[in-house]
């Protein structure tokens, strides 16, 4: 088509004013869409964070419940197959009472709880890792963190087992749950500080020799034991043992309370009242987690009360994080006498 003065208007573009109006409208629409996306994304992140807190608590508590129910279990084989290569009819392993300050760390008591105790003292040179940033745990960190909060309790759970395919058929395991402070770093800048729940699994290694039949007790054998020790070596002896495996981050508090059949609290330090450890009939567990967002869950700081079994241990914290506590009571099944 040939352009003429009559039809040229049909091929003209937008005026400058029309373009500017279009840009303004497009900008407003994009800003509205971004705002809507940002609101939805933040809401989704908060809901996911809260769901993560609940899920983390349930997972850890389920594992703790299973371990507490195993406390005090002792395997009984029942039949002896011969003096030289046979399996002893029952657990022959040494039983360490741990009723002194020097020996209580080696105690075989089914449940031991240490109040307001961070770390597991036998672990040396440990590094806490958070989001690919390493933070060495020092005594200074330990005391500083402990001064800020009464976190947390430590629990040791001991139970027996059996594996006929290993050199030491009768097994004795100790499961430990404890807390360590973690620093989230960006270079030399501390972005966040919180606790993590750690779990260790140890095995009692004790070599022995089976001698000929006991002349004074027909049918019985003499077993000579060598010195035993708790080990965490990843070897053929204990391939599933480990030290300080991080279970969950963003822990606020972890509390354990041992109760007897009458619901009375029991002091579980073996060096204080060793016999009481076999009166434990249930363990109250409380875990408190907080949201993981470094910016916080709420826009403004709010006052949170971290509840506890002990009134004196309850504390008030004012910040923008969401917190959730889980309380459960676990009944022991295998505690009632020395094992």
Query: Using CA atoms, how far apart are residues 271 and 269, in angstroms rounded to an integer?
Result: 5
Q: Quick one: pLDDT at residue 257?
A: 94
Alpha carbon 21 to its chain's center: 59
Contacts of 96 (CB under 8 A, 6+ apart): 103, 106, 107, 108, 228
Mean pLDDT of the chain: 77
214-236 pLDDT, tens digit each: 566 665 666 677 778 888 876 66
For the cut 90, the answer to whether the pLDDT of residue 303 exceeds it is no
Q: Quick one: pLDDT at residue 136?
A: 41
Handedness of CA 101, 246, 54, 37 (dihedral sign): positive
pTM above 0.85, yes or no: no
243-264 pLDDT, tens digit each: 888 888 888 889 999 999 888 9
DSSP three-state, residue 255:
strand
The closest of 186, 195, 199, 311 to 244, measured between CA atoms, is 199
Contacts of 230 (CB under 8 A, 6+ apart): 106, 174, 202, 203, 204, 205
Q: Quick one: pLDDT at residue 68?
A: 95
Element holding 8 (H helix, E strand): none
Q: Quick one: pLDDT at residue 77?
A: 76
Pairing of strands 170-186, 208-213: unpaired
What is the pLDDT confidence band of residue 14, given thresholds at 50, 70 and 90? low
Per the CB < 8 A criterion, the answer to whether 97 and 103 are in contact is: yes
181-195 pLDDT, tens digit each: 887 777 777 778 888
Query: Using CA atoms, how far apart are residues 201 and 247, in angstroms rounded to an integer?
Result: 13
Q: Which residues of 130-161 are buried (b: 16+ CB within 10 A; e: fewer)?
A: beeeebebeeebeeebbeebbbbbbbbbbbbe
Q: Domain limits of the chain? A: 15-291
Pairing of strands 229-231, 189-205: antiparallel
Q: Quick one: pLDDT at residue 117?
A: 81
What is the pLDDT confidence band of residue 112, given thresholds at 50, 70 and 90? very high
Per the CB < 8 A criterion, the answer to whether 217 and 272 are in contact is: no
Contacts of 131 (CB under 8 A, 6+ apart): 184
pLDDT (mean) for 262-284: 89
The closest of 70, 92, 104 to 173, measured between CA atoms, is 70
Q: Quick one: pLDDT at residue 148?
A: 46
DSSP state of 76: B
Per the CB < 8 A criterion, the answer to whether 203 and 172 are in contact is: yes
Question: Considering the chain, what percentage of its residues have pLDDT values greater than 90?
Answer: 18
DSSP three-state, residue 327:
strand
Counts for the chain of helices (H) and strands (E), in that order: 2, 14
Question: Considering the chain, what percentage of its residues have pLDDT values greater than 70?
Answer: 72
Per the CB < 8 A criterion, the answer to whether 306 and 315 are in contact is: yes
Q: Quick one: pLDDT at residue 218?
A: 60
The closest of 182, 180, 177 to 130, measured between CA atoms, is 182
Give the helix, strand, coil percentages of the chain, each rounded to 5. Answer: 25, 35, 40
């Amino acid at each position: 088509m040939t352009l003429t003065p009559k039809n040229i208007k049909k091929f003209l573009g937008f005026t400058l004013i029309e373009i500017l109006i279009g840009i303004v409208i497009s900008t407003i629409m994009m800003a509205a869409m971004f705002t809507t996306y940002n609101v939805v994304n933040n809401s989704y992140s908060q809901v996911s964070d809260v769901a993560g807190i609940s899920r983390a608590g349930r997972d850890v508590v389920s594992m703790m419940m299973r371990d507490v129910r195993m406390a005090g279990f002792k395997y009984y084989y029942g039949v002896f197959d011969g003096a030289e290569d046979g399996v002893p009819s029952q657990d022959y392993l040494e039983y360490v009472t741990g009723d002194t300050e020097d020996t209580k760390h080696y105690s075989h008591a089914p449940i031991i709880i240490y109040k307001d105790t961070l770390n597991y003292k036998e672990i040396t040179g440990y590094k806490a890792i958070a989001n690919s940033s390493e933070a060495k745990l020092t005594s200074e960190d330990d005391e500083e963190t402990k001064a800020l909060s009464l976190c947390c309790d430590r629990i040791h759970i001991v139970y027996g087992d059996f594996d006929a395919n290993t050199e030491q058929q009768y097994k004795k395991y100790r499961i430990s749950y404890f807390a360590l402070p973690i620093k989230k770093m960006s270079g030399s800048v501390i972005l966040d500080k919180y606790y993590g729940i750690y779990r260790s699994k140890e095995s009692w290694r004790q070599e022995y020799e089976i001698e000929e039949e006991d002349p004074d007790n027909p049918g019985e054998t003499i077993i000579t034991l060598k010195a035993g020790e708790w080990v965490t070596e990843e070897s053929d002896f204990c391939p599933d043992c480990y030290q300080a495996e991080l279970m969950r981050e963003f822990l606020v508090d972890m509390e354990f309370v041992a109760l007897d059949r009458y619901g009375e609290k029991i002091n579980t330090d073996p060096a204080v009242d060793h016999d009481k450890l076999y009166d434990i009939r249930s363990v109250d567990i409380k875990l408190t987690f907080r949201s993981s967002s470094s910016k916080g869950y709420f826009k403004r700081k709010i006052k949170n009360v971290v509840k506890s079994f002990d009134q004196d241990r309850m504390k008030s914290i004012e910040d923008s994080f969401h917190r959730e506590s889980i309380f459960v009571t676990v009944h022991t099944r295998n505690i009632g006498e020395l094992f």
